[in-house]
Amino acid sequence: MTSASPGEIAERTQRRRNRLLWLVPMLFFIWQGAFFSSYARPHTPLRAVELVSLGSHLFLAVVLLFVLATGGGWRHGKTVRALLDDESTQAHRAQAYAAGFWALALCAAGLYAAAPFVQLATGDIAHILLSVAVAVPALRFVMLERRAARD
């Protein structure tokens, strides 16, 4: 059995990264509906299930940001990681960060405009902003990467 070249490993890893970065942010957004539909009333103690939900949301957000920032491929050597982080990937990442910035700015403006009409707790606002700040750049990055892979 022959071992795969670094280029083949990078190509497989990039395809896997694109599949995961498409699925995970979508699930991340979908789970927000479940979070807000069952969230405890303000001023009541959080139940253990809500604490686990908040902790898992924060953990998944950090993991997604880390994958977006580094590109993945940690279990492979520097050569494979360098192939995964080529110039086009860096350009896609920069465009994804820009999309995340604008989405976050628009979301903050929307929350600011809604503030006189809808009372949201600080935790809810932080949850919404973190969700947008993580999911939008991840989705934009994977859309750019998938388009480049098709071409």
Query: Which SS3 state, helix, strand or coil, does residue 72 take?
Result: coil
Tell me the domain boundaries of the chain.
Answer: 6-150
Q: What are phi and psi of 61, to 5 degrees?
A: -65, -45
**H/E run at residue 76:** none
Rounded CA-CA distance 12/23 in Å is 17
CA angle 93, 98, 101 (to 5 degrees): 125
For 151, the 3-state DSSP assignment is coil
pLDDT tens for the chain, residues 1 to 151 = 457 787 788 788 788 878 877 888 888 877 777 766 665 455 567 778 777 878 888 888 898 888 888 877 677 778 777 877 888 889 999 999 999 999 999 999 999 999 999 888 888 898 889 989 998 998 899 899 888 888 7
Q: Tokens 């998938």 correspond to what residue?
A: 146
Q: What pTM was estimated for this model as a whole?
A: 0.81
